[in-house]
Chain A
Amino acid sequence: MTGTGAVGSPGSLTVADVSVVVDGRTLVEGVSLTAAPGEVVGLAGPNGAGKSTLLRTVYRALRPTSGRVLLDGEDVRRMPGKRLARRLAAVLQEAPGDFELSVYDVVAMGRTPHKRAFEGDSADDRAVVMGALAELGAGGLAGAPFGRLSGGEKQRVLIARALAQRAGTMVLDEPTNHLDLRHQLDALRLVRRLGVTAVVALHDLNLAAAFCDRICVMAGGRLVALGTPREVLTPALLAEVYRVEADVAEHPRTGVPHVTLLTGSERPHGPWGSPA
């Protein structure tokens, strides 16, 4: 692909004993986690587990009540905002609101950390923006008003914006939200191909198993499991954390653990077995 070129060098992202208390409620409690340079760490867990809250402390939307977040050993809260934004990009769930922004305008925001006051967009900036859109298969949307896109198109544009930051480290909060199957794969493949360090909150455990080096499972604000997909995705853990019954088997073609949820209406074993 032309246009986007190389992103910054992947950083080492460390969440060190982070707790977040908001209005007396503990949302995240003592979570520690390190993503090595180039590593993709999945963040899984039921609704309200504290995944988004944890990510918000990484991109500084939220100050940890205790603990620190370090990028290459440096506390992110002590770094000037622009310098951090050149090295760490975030894909959030929040989307721009009522203003008549074009898709191009939205993605061009990703260039802001690289710009000084009064500095115009260079040809390189425009190439980066268009390249980022092209990477997400959204090159044709550049002139469209952002507000009129479908949910999936918006999501891809927001990923393109983070891409335009050219940061070596990314946090992505449910980047596959609203995306159809093909675009889910494309988005996560892209993250892998860029070689960035990434922490990705994902609901789909099979996607997480396929694309993440390690999976971190949170529940009730705590880290309950951290390891390779094979280590983490076990029926016992799924039952404990999600309260679901599931089969986990290595998929014969991908070699990746595959989670099948049992809905309670399964046939008993045997091809035509009748209910007991």
Chain B
Amino acid sequence: MTGTTDTGTGSKGAGATGSGAASKDGGTGADAAGTSGPGGGLPAGGRATADAGPANGPAAGRQGRRAPIPYPVVFAVLGALVVVTATFGIAVGSIRVPAGQVWGILLHRVHPALADPDWTRVRETIVMDVRLPRVLLAAVVGAGLAVCGTALQALVRNPLADPMLLGVSSGASVGAVAVVVLNVSLFGVFSLPVAAFLGALAALVAVYFLARSGGRMTTVRLVLAGVATAEVLSAVASFLVVTSNDPHKTQSALRWMLGGLAGTTWASVWIPVGAVLLGTAVLLGVCRSLNLLLAGEEAAVALGLDVHRFRGALFTLVALMIGTIVAVSGQIGFVGLIMPHVVRLLVGADHRRALPAAALLGAAFLIAADLAARTLMSPEEIPVGILTALVGGPFFLWLMRRRTA
């Protein structure tokens, strides 16, 4: 039966199985690695009980494909990446602050005893009031977009989903531009985020129902519905900008639509920080349900998930997160598309591993992109959305070609 194939490749497969499941045992993070014992033990036991083991042979070659990096290592590396990019993000600019001094200033703020102040007040102001909020916002926006992208891809069960591709960002833009141009102040300080949220939610719901037909949703319909909705909404936003009589407002709305983090202050950081942290926490709590969606709608129902209610709640949550993100950063495309893919290649599709990794990778990526945006053509600043599109567009095309191949 398997005697023919279960030879040299069999032992190779055994090794790959062990490491594959070791990353599995990484579970939800640091806790699982310690408590669950050695990861290689289980599959070995499983194979021992599978007396005949008819499947071992043919599978052996394919298991080699699985990334052998244990999850805690990936997680630690991504965490370190965030710290490194953040340090550079704060250090580099028109006035350079040495990395050591950056940390000195930060630690001194945490507790004065942690570092001796050997820097000028100007530098401290630059670090604390100009660069730190901007880097923090970049991290939060990047993490939020990556997390939302991951969740959206599971929700519509399509790996090409992305907040911008699905018109969600455009919807948020219409809401936000309307507030800026039409001078709406119904909700005070929260007018912009609230309007962006409502626009995002409306767009998401519209695309979802346009793409669905007979209970099914195809990639083609989803992308077409998303692109069409995004186009229409962008046109609406542009119309609002162009017909505005106030050149100052036109200017600020236009700059905002291109996507950028220029002029970030502490005041604009807190709402997105709160929304992204809270939203990510909720998503981490429903990881298992997100996993079920990957198995398909019917399978998810059979496994006990109320798919319609869950999907509705999560659409609202994602719209809320995207709304607050777009309200402060404008449209920054492709982060929500690329990061989930890279993360799934690294740690697999299980959301308990993918979501935290996506948050870290998204944060590091956008901090780096924002750093490039403000230093590449200094003193001119490139809107960061242009940079992410330059990187993301080709990646998207590569992905599309790879999938149809």
Binding site for B on A (CB under 8 A): 1-3, 56, 59-61, 80-86, 89-90, 92, 94-102, 104-106, 108-110, 112-113, 115, 117-118, 120-121, 123, 126-127, 130-131, 133-134, 137-145, 148-150, 153, 156, 165, 182-183
Contact, CB under 8 Å: B288 / A115: yes
How far, in whole Å, are A96 and B348 apart by their CA atoms in the complex? 14
Taking A102-B24, A134-B46, A156-B55 as given, write out 5 further A-B residue pairs in contact, using a Cβ cutoff of 8 Å, ordered by the A residue number: A81-B305, A105-B348, A126-B36, A142-B46, A182-B1
List of A residues within 8 angstroms of B344 by Cβ: 99-100
- Cross-interface CB contact of A142 among B37, B43, B52, cutoff 8 Å: B43
How far, in whole Å, are A82 and B107 apart by their CA atoms in the complex? 48
Contact, CB under 8 Å: A82 / B304: yes
Interface residues of B in 304-362 (CB under 8 A from A): 304-306, 344-345, 348-350
Residue of B nearest to A158 (CB): B299
List of B residues within 8 angstroms of A149 by Cβ: 59, 62
Contact, CB under 8 Å: B304 / A139: no
Contact, CB under 8 Å: B27 / A121: yes
Contact, CB under 8 Å: B302 / A59: yes
How far, in whole Å, are A2 and B46 apart by their CA atoms in the complex? 9
B222-247: CB near A (< 8 Å → 1, else 0) gives 00000000000000000000000000
Q: A99-B344, A123-B37, A126-B36 are in contact. Are A110 and B303 (CB under 8 A)?
A: yes
How far, in whole Å, are A123 and B13 apart by their CA atoms in the complex? 23
Q: A118-B285, A143-B17, A148-B62 are in contact. Are A106 and B302 (CB under 8 A)?
A: no
Contact, CB under 8 Å: A143 / B43: yes
- Cross-interface CB contact of B302 among A90, A117, A134, A143, cutoff 8 Å: A90
How far, in whole Å, are A201 and B289 apart by their CA atoms in the complex? 28
List of A residues within 8 angstroms of B13 by Cβ: 140
Contact, CB under 8 Å: A81 / B54: no
Contact, CB under 8 Å: A137 / B304: no
List of B residues within 8 angstroms of A115 by Cβ: 288
List of A residues within 8 angstroms of B1 by Cβ: 182
List of B residues within 8 angstroms of A85 by Cβ: 302-304
Q: A96-B295, A137-B50, A153-B55 are in contact. Are A60 and B349 (CB under 8 A)?
A: no
Q: Does B249 contact A (CB under 8 A)?
A: no
Contact, CB under 8 Å: B55 / A141: yes
Contact, CB under 8 Å: B348 / A112: no
- Cross-interface CB contact of A134 among B16, B47, B292, cutoff 8 Å: B47
Tell me how far the C-beta of A269 lies from the nearest C-beta in chain B, rounded to whole angstroms.
39
Q: A3-B49, A123-B37 are in contact. Are A112 and B304 (CB under 8 A)?
A: yes
- Cross-interface CB contact of A61 among B55, B302, B345, cutoff 8 Å: B302
